[in-house]
């Protein structure tokens, strides 16, 4: 295999995947709705950026031919039922059909650890329906299910570090929810490693790999970790579920993307940890990095000196 199409290649995970695939010698096509969004990957010599709307069936059908494999990273964390259906389910269905018509059999899809058709949140249920839609296409399909993903540009630990620099206390909904955070570099390696394996027999084959790190931590633990290695650590104030849902509702009503939604809280009703029913990163020869080892390397810049250094650099 030489040519690969990466949907979602300009995002947080996508940038790492493109860099990993570039180092492995792949020629990569990255579609984007606006060329300016692709600035982080345009410097890679073997990356070709094309302006296209992947939700348009005709545009998607024109993108897939000529590639040996496809990676799908497109996802949202917040939205209405219709938005989740469009991004997680309809796109998956259209992508599976486009791959079949073009004769492209290898597809790696980054889903979510909590994907469950009967899950408590719209996010989890739509992720499961998207997996099912791809499985129906009869492809050589790998489903990667990561827990919450952390890394230098994440909107998770970085966000909690910045909030603790602003507020004297951290009122926290879902404080006891358990996660098994995975480093973005390990997820990118998993994508590349899966693609290096030969295409399996005709007739369709689906495998599921759970992408988790070695540490199981509550949300409160992760907030404390972000504060400890960021600018300052604040006291975490766990909120009752009813108060937490009210807080999330107010965040949804605020302009822009919400920091937390009621659907996020519904997702946290189920622990986001490995089930043990599927192989993990070690089955790919990847020893997952600990959040305790990686997070301090990038959260240390959240304080005043770090912000000043970033300003100087810009």
What integer pLDDT is reported at residue 200 of this predicted model? Answer: 78
Written as six digits, the tokens of 186 are: 């390990």
What integer pLDDT is reported at residue 312 of this predicted model? Answer: 43
In the chain, what percentage of residues exceed pLDDT 90? 87
Integer angstrom CA distances of residue 147 from 104, 187, 265, 274: 28, 10, 15, 8
Mean pLDDT, rounded, for 207-221: 98
In the chain, what percentage of residues exceed pLDDT 70? 95
What integer pLDDT is reported at residue 55 of this predicted model? Answer: 97
Integer angstrom CA distances of residue 107 from 115, 121, 134: 18, 26, 9
Beta-carbon contacts of residue 36 (< 8 Å; ≥ 6 apart)? none
**Is 36 within 8 Å of 102 (Cβ atoms)?**
no
Spatial separation of the C-alpha atoms in residues 314 and 146, rounded to whole Å: 33
Each residue's pLDDT tens digit, 233-253: 999 999 999 999 999 999 999
Spatial separation of the C-alpha atoms in residues 287 and 254, rounded to whole Å: 40
What integer pLDDT is reported at residue 257 of this predicted model? Answer: 86
Integer angstrom CA distances of residue 80 from 77, 87, 103, 252: 10, 11, 34, 11
Each residue's pLDDT tens digit, 77-118: 999 999 999 999 999 999 999 999 999 999 999 999 999 999
Beta-carbon contacts of residue 70 (< 8 Å; ≥ 6 apart)? 4, 5, 6, 7, 64, 95, 99, 104, 106, 107, 108
Structural domains of the chain, with CATH: 3-150+182-212+274-284 (3.40.50.720)
pTM of the model: 0.93
Spatial separation of the C-alpha atoms in residues 41 and 73, rounded to whole Å: 15
Is 211 a residue whose pLDDT tops 90?
yes
């Amino acid at each position: 295999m030489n040519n690969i199409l990466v949907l979602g290649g300009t995002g947080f995970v996508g940038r790492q995947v493109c860099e990993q695939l570039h180092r492995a010698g792949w020629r990569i096509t990255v579609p984007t709705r606006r060329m300016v969004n692709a600035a982080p990957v345009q410097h890679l010599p073997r990356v070709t950026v094309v302006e296209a709307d992947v939700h348009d069936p005709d545009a998607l059908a024109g993108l897939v031919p000529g590639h040996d494999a496809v990676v799908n990273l497109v996802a949202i964390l917040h939205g209405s039922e219709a938005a989740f259906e469009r991004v997680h389910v309809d796109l998956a269905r259209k992508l599976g059909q486009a791959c079949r018509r073009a004769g492209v059999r290898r597809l790696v899809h980054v889903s979510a650890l909590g994907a469950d058709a009967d899950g408590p949140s719209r996010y989890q249920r739509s992720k499961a329906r998207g997996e099912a839609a791809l499985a129906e296409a009869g492809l050589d399909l790998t489903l990667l299910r990561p827990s919450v993903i952390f890394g230098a540009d994440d909107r998770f630990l970085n966000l909690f570090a910045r909030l603790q620099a602003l507020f004297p206390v951290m009122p926290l909904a879902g404080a006891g929810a358990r996660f098994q955070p995975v480093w973005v570099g390990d997820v990118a390696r998993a994508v590349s490693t899966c693609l290096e394996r030969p295409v399996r027999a005709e007739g369709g084959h689906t495998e599921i790999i759970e992408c988790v790190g070695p540490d199981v931590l509550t949300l409160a633990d992760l907030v404390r970790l972000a504060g400890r290695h960021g600018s300052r650590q604040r006291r975490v104030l766990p909120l009752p579920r009813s108060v937490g849902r009210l807080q999330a509702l107010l965040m949804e009503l605020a302009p822009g993307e919400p920091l937390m939604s009621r659907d996020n809280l519904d997702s946290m009703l189920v622990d986001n940890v490995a089930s043990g029913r599927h192989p993990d990163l070690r089955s790919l020869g990847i020893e997952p990095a600990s959040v305790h080892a990686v997070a301090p390397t990038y959260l240390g810049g959240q304080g005043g000196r770090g912000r000043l250094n970033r300003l100087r650099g810009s």
